[in-house]
Amino acid sequence: MTQTLTLRRPDDWHLHLRDGDMMRAVLPHTATHFARAIIMPNLVPPVVTGADASAYRDRIMAALPAGSGFTPLMTLYLTEDTDAEDVAAAHASGLIHAVKLYPAGATTNSASGVANFNKVAHVFEKMAEIGLPLCTHGEVTDPSVDIFDREAAFIERVMDPIRRAHPDLRVIMEHITTSDAVDYVKSADKNLAATITTHHLVINRNHILAGGIKPHYYCLPVAKRESHRLALRAAATSGDARFFLGTDSAPHTDANKLLPCGCAGCFTAPNTMSILAEVFEQEGALDKLEAFTSLNGPAYYGLPANADTITLTREGPRYPAAIDTPDGPVTVFDPDMPLNWSVV
């Protein structure tokens, strides 16, 4: 039986770091395992301009533990007022690596997102021209669409029309949760990839709703039925270069999760690598873990894979059930999940 696993150091292609005290509390948990992460721009107010992203990057760098080699890969939050020239300049200087599309109102801090997709067509044109990827939160916000159907509706109503209008635009469908999304990504021969989170490989909607409501499992897009989870596991463990890790680690204090109207988001940074090793071993696919965590993402983003490595050993991981922040504790995703792998 394999006792140790050595992989190219992983990257996280979708991460919420927040700002201020919360950022200082959560950042070390990512920086200790991951070399790079695509940093989500949904702060309040959002990271909209190149100047915003530059200032946010400086704050992240200042919060890094001494000696950390972690590199934040910045993104801009697309609004109907986004200036395509500012986007192009931020890309040309090496500051930003993607632009993030949130349909207005789809998730946490998305009020400034896009309502009318025609208004941003010129930004998509510029991005296609310069090779800057678009990351999408793929859910429609139409209140008449059932929340479990919002990803599939987004593909049909928004994603496919955008891709047909801009065939050269490089797109990443983030945190996909359905077999519909897996099939859609596989149907594309170029310019389409998807990230998959750790938690969507582990939970289905029963985990959230059966036997009492479990706010710590609530995130957006919400976990779907079991057949979808199995499709995600098959895609992630297949080695297919179009699928890679984006944890969507999204810290909220317990006080903000455990409310009559609690926040969406799972905090997976501390135990993601241990959980993924477990999932890939269960699927008989430990040999595909490195592709998912460390190779497919950089290849799609046009970056080199990391030169250094991380090693996991077969022993129960040690991580806290919750981390302390000045705003209160943040519970780690599924802290009681039995796990057999820990990062050395």
Instruction: List, by residue number, the catalytic residues.
Output: 248
Least distance to ligand NCD from the beta carbon of 239, Å?
26
Which tokens is 187 given?
A: 């149907």
Q: Which does 50 bind (CB under 5 to 8 A by kind): ligand NCD, Zn ion, none?
A: none
User: How far apart, in whole angstroms, are the C-alpha atoms of residue 323 and residue 80?
Assistant: 37
Name the strand (E) or helix (H) holding 29: helix 20-31
Write down the least CB distance from residue 326 to ligand NCD, Å: 18
Residue 139's nearest CA partner among 95, 99, 94, 108 is: 108
When CB distances to Zn ion are compared, the closest residue is 248
CA separation for the pair 192, 174 (Å, rounded)? 11
Of 162-221, which residues contact ligand NCD (CB under 6 A)?
Answer: 219-220
Number of residues this chain uses to bind ligand NCD (CB under 6 A): 11
Check if the beta carbon of residue 153 is closer than 8 Å to that of residue 140. Answer: yes
Is residue 16 at the binding interface for ligand NCD, with CB under 6 A as the rule? yes
* Share in percent of the chain as helix, strand, coil (round to 5): 40, 15, 45
- Closest approach of Cβ 173 to ligand NCD, in Å? 13
Q: Report the b/e string of 111-133 with b at 16+ CB within 10 A.
A: ebbbeebeebeebbebbbeeebb
Count how many residues are written for the chain.
344
Shortest Å distance, C-beta 291 to ligand NCD? 24
Judged by beta carbon distances under 5 to 8 A according to partner kind, the member of ligand NCD, Zn ion, none in contact with residue 107 is ligand NCD
113 vs 286, beta carbon nearer ligand NCD: 113
Q: Does 42 bind ligand NCD (CB under 6 A)?
A: yes
The contact mask relative to ligand NCD for 232-271 (x = CB under 6 A, - = no) is: ----------------x-x-------------xx------
- Residue 273: phi, psi to the nearest 5? -65, -35
Residues that bind Zn ion (CB under 5 A): 248
Q: Closer to Zn ion at the Cβ: 82 or 110? A: 110
Q: Which is nearer to ligand NCD, 10 or 46 (CB)?
A: 46
Asked if 140 is part of the footprint of ligand NCD (rule: CB under 6 A), the reply reads no
Q: Which of residues 94-133 bind ligand NCD (CB under 6 A)?
A: 107-108
Binding site partner of 138, from ligand NCD, Zn ion, none, Cβ cut-off 5-8 A by kind = none
247 contacts: CB under 8 Å, gap ≥ 6? 12, 14, 15, 197, 198, 268, 269, 272
Distance CA 76, CA 73 (A): 10
Binding site for ligand NCD (CB under 6 A): 16, 42, 107-108, 137, 219-220, 248, 250, 264-265
